[in-house]
Structure 1
Amino acid sequence: MAPILNINNLYKSYGQTEILKDINVSIEKGDFLVLVGPSGCGKSTLLNCIAGLEPITGGQLNIAGQDMTNVSPKDRNIAMVFQSYALYPTMSVAKNITFGMKVRGVDKSVQDQKLAEVAKQLQIEKLLNRKPSQLSGGQRQRVAMGRALVRDPALFLFDEPLSNLDAKLRVEMRTEIKRLHQDLHASMVYVTHDQIEAMTLATKIVVMKDGIIQQIGTPAEIYRQPANLFVADFMGSPAMNLIPAKVSTDGNARRIEIARDGEAPLVLTDRRGVDLPKDVIIGLRPEDITDPGSRQGDNLELADVHVDVVEPAGADTYVVSRLGGKEVTARLQAETEVRPGARAQFAFDLGKATYFDPASGARLV
C-alpha cells in the first residue's frame, strides 16, 4: 500500500531565501506525524506546503498515492484545523460544521447524519444552536475539529491547534485529539513547538531546525537516541543534561572525567566498552541521575555531588548541581531529603548515557 503522505526532496524558497531544504518524509495510513521545532524552523511552512496553501519551489508531494505537487488545496482531500479556529461568527455551531458540505452540494440528509455522528463523538450535541461567541476556547476547538471530521479526508492537518488554550484545557484537548486518532485510525499531521505535545501525541516525530530535518523517529527513539545535541536539548522537559567530559580507557571500560568548580573532578566508569574519543559531551536524562537504591543495573555509579538548588515538583524533586561548567538536573523521589548547599549522593545510570561529538554535535553512541 502506498504511503498516505510521501514528500521527496522538497524545497521552499522566498526569493533567494531558502526556508525548507531537502525535506523527505513518509507516513503510512493511520500514522500521527508531529512536526516540532522552535519558532521559525519551517514547520508551519511545511504544513502549508502539504495543504497546498504555499507552492513548493522543488521536489514532489504525494497524498494517498496521488501527485499533489501542483494541485489546488480544495482538490487535495485534506482537512485543516487552525490555531485561530476560523469559525464563522454569524453562523450556529451546526452551520459552521456543515457549511463545507453545503458548499460542495452534499445531500441535506447526509449533512444531518454526519453532523449527528461528529457532535456525539466530540460531545457537543448541546452546543449545536449556539454561536461561536457563546463558546469557551475548548468548545470552539471542538467545533473546528468537528468541521474537519465531517470531511472524512485522507489527511488531517493541525496547525498549533492548542496554543490558544490555558494549560489545563490544553492537556484535556490533547487527550481528546489522541482519543480521536485512536478511534478514527485517521492519518494526521500536527504542528507544534511544544515537545511534550509532540511526545504524547505522535506515532512519528519530525524535529526541525532552520528548515532542515534533524531527526525522524518514534517518540521513544527521539527521546532515548537523539541524533544530535540540538534534538537532545530540545526534546524532554527538563532537557537532557549535556556535560563536557574527558574519556580515558580503563581495560574494557571507559573512565569519564567531569570537571567540578573548586574540587576534584567527578570520575564515572562506563562499563559498556563503547568506543569514544578523548573529548565528549555526555548526555544523561534527569531521571538517569537519581536516588541511590531507586534503580538497579550493573552500570550504576554512585557519587557525592554539591547541591545548588532544590525544586519540589509534587511527584518528584528536581535537584540542580553544577558539573563540567553546566547546570545539571537530577530527578529524585519526592520524599528524598536534600538541602541547598549540602552534599548528596546520586546514582548515575551510565547504561543510559548518550555521547556526542563536541565539534559536530552528532551522537557518537
Structure 2
Amino acid sequence: MAPILDIQNLYKSYGQTEILKDINVAIEPGDFLVLVGPSGCGKSTLLNCIAGLEPITGGKLDIAGKNMTDVSPKDRDIAMVFQSYALYPTMTVAKNITFGMKVRGIDQATQDKKLKEVAELLQISPLLHRKPGQLSGGQRQRVAMGRALVRDPALFLFDEPLSNLDAKLRVEMRTEIKKLHQTLNASIVYVTHDQIEAMTLATKIVVMKGGVIQQIGTPAEIYNTPANLFVADFMGSPAMNLIPARVQRDGHGHRIEITRMKGEPLILADSRPLDLPQDVIIGLRPEDIAEAGYRSGEDVQQAACMVDMVEPAGADTYVVSQLGGKSVTARLHAETSALAGRELELAFDLGKASYFAPKTGERLN
C-alpha cells in the first residue's frame, strides 16, 4: 500500500534564507502524524507546503500516490482546520459546515446527509441554527472540524487547532480529536508546539528544530530513546534530566561519576555492555529517580542526595537536587517525607539511562 503522504528531499527557502532543509517523511493511511517543535522551527511552513499554500523550493510531495508538488490546494484532496477557526460570522453553524459543499455544486440531499452525520459525530446537532458569535471556543472548533469532515478527504491537516482554548478545554478537545481519529481511521497531519499534545495524539511524531527534522518515531520511541539532547530536553514534562558525568570502564560495565556542590562525587554503576567515551551527558527521566524503597532491580543504585526544593503536584511530588552542576528532578510519590535542606536516599534506575556526546549532542547508546 502506497503511503498516504510521501515527502522526499523537500526544501523551502525565502530568498537566500532556508526555512526547511531536506525534509523526508512518509505516513501510512490511518496514521496520526504530529509535527512538533519550538516556535520558528518550520512546522507550520511544512504544513502549508503539504497544503499547497506555500510553493516548495525543491523536492517532491505525493498525496495518496499522486505527485502534488505543483498542484493547486483545491485539487490536493485535503481538508484543513486552522488555529483561528475561520468561520463565517453571518452564517449559521449548518451553513458554515455545508458552504464548501455548496460551492463545489454538491446536491442538497448529499449536503443534508453529510451535515447530519458530522453533527452527530461531533455532538453539535443542537447548535446547527446558531451563529459563531453564540458559541464557545470549543464549540467553534468543533464546527471548524465539521467543515473539514464533510469533505471526506484523503488527508486532514490541523494547524495548532487548540492553541486558542483554555487549559481544561484543550484537554477535552484533545480527547475528542483522539476519539475522532479512532472512529474514522482518518489520515492526519497535526501541528503543535505542545509536546504533551504530541505525545497524547500521535501514532508518529516528527520533532523539528531550525527547519531540520531531529527525530521521527512513535511517542514511545521519542520519549524513551531520544536521538539527541534537543529531543531529550524538549519532549517530556518535566524534561529529561541531562547531567554531565565522567565514565570509567569497570569490567563489562561502567563507573559513572557525577560531581556535587559539596562532598564526594556521586558514583553510580551501569552494568550494560556499552561503548562510552570518558565524558558524557547522562539522561534520566524524573520517574527513573525514585525514593529508596520504591524502586528495585539489578540496575537500580541508591545514593543520598541533598534536597534543594520540594514541589507537591497532586499525585506526584517533585524533588530537586543539584548534581553535576544541574538541577535534577525526581518524581516521587505524593506521601514522601522529603524536606528541603535535608538529605534523601534516592534510587537511580541506570537501566533506563540514555547517554549523549557533550559536543555533538548525539545519542551514544
Task: Report TM bin, short chain.
Answer: over 0.9
Provide the residue aligned with 2:360 in structure 1: 360
Distance 1:298 1:123 in 2: 51
Shift of 1:292: 1.7
Provide the residue aligned with 1:44 in structure 2: 44
Provide the residue aligned with 1:213 in structure 2: 213
Return the letter of the residue paired with 2:232: A
The one-character-per-residue Cα deviations of 1:154-213 (angstroms, maximum 9, x if unpaired) are 000000000000000000000000000000000000000000000000000000000000
The one-character-per-residue Cα deviations of 1:40-87 (angstroms, maximum 9, x if unpaired) are 000000000000000000000000000000000000000000000000
Provide the residue aligned with 1:198 in structure 2: 198
Distance 1:294 1:178 in 2: 33
Return the letter of the residue paired with 1:310: V
Structure 1 residue matching 2:264: 3-state secondary structure: strand
Shift of 1:293: 2.2
User: How high is the sequence identity, in percent, across the aligned residues?
Assistant: 78
Return the letter of the residue paired with 1:249: R
Shift of 1:273: 2.4
Shift of 1:296: 2.7
Provide the residue aligned with 2:261 in structure 1: 261
Distance 1:191 1:361 in 2: 25
Provide the residue aligned with 1:317 in structure 2: 317
Structure 2 residue matching 1:55: 3-state secondary structure: coil
Structure 1 residue 300 corresponds to structure 2 residue 335 = no
Structure 1 residue 329 corresponds to structure 2 residue 329 = yes
Distance 1:45 1:82 in 2: 13
Distance 2:93 2:84 in 1: 16
Provide the residue aligned with 1:344 in structure 2: 344
Distance 1:295 1:162 in 2: 37
Distance 2:292 2:344 in 1: 10
Provide the residue aligned with 1:86 in structure 2: 86
Deviates more, 1:169-178 or 1:290-299: 290-299
Provide the residue aligned with 1:58 in structure 2: 58
Provide the residue aligned with 2:5 in structure 1: 5
Structure 2 residue matching 1:298: 3-state secondary structure: coil
Structure 2 residue matching 1:83: 3-state secondary structure: coil
Distance 2:73 2:252 in 1: 59
Distance 1:262 1:344 in 2: 15
Structure 1 residue 126 corresponds to structure 2 residue 126 = yes
Distance 1:293 1:160 in 2: 42
Shift of 1:251: 1.3
Shift of 1:250: 1.4
Shift of 1:294: 1.8
Provide the residue aligned with 2:146 in structure 1: 146
Structure 1 residue 182 corresponds to structure 2 residue 182 = yes
Q: How does 1:156-175 map to 2 (within 5 A)?
A: 156-175=156-175
Distance 1:154 1:252 in 2: 52
Structure 1 residue matching 2:161: 3-state secondary structure: coil
Distance 1:324 1:343 in 2: 17
Structure 2 residue matching 1:260: 3-state secondary structure: coil
Structure 1 residue matching 2:139: 3-state secondary structure: helix
Return the letter of the residue paired with 2:24: N
Shift of 1:262: 2.0
Shift of 1:295: 2.2
The one-character-per-residue Cα deviations of 1:248-269 (angstroms, maximum 9, x if unpaired) are 0111220000000021100000
Distance 1:212 1:251 in 2: 39
Return the letter of the residue paired with 1:361: G
Provide the residue aligned with 2:288 in structure 1: 288
Return the letter of the residue paired with 1:26: A
Structure 1 residue matching 2:23: 3-state secondary structure: strand
Distance 2:104 2:160 in 1: 27
Distance 1:62 1:296 in 2: 50
Return the letter of the residue paired with 1:311: E
Q: How does 1:5-44 map to 2 (within 5 A)?
A: 5-44=5-44
Return the letter of the residue paired with 1:233: D
Distance 1:280 1:207 in 2: 23
Return the letter of the residue paired with 2:237: S
Structure 1 residue matching 2:206: 3-state secondary structure: strand
Distance 1:156 1:294 in 2: 44
Structure 2: 5+ residue stretches without partners:
none
Distance 1:293 1:26 in 2: 45
Distance 1:239 1:268 in 2: 21
Structure 1 residue matching 2:320: 3-state secondary structure: strand
TM-score normalized by structure 2?
1.00
Structure 1 residue 69 corresponds to structure 2 residue 69 = yes
Return the letter of the residue paired with 1:264: E
TM-score normalized by structure 1?
1.00
Structure 1 residue matching 2:361: 3-state secondary structure: coil
Distance 2:275 2:362 in 1: 15
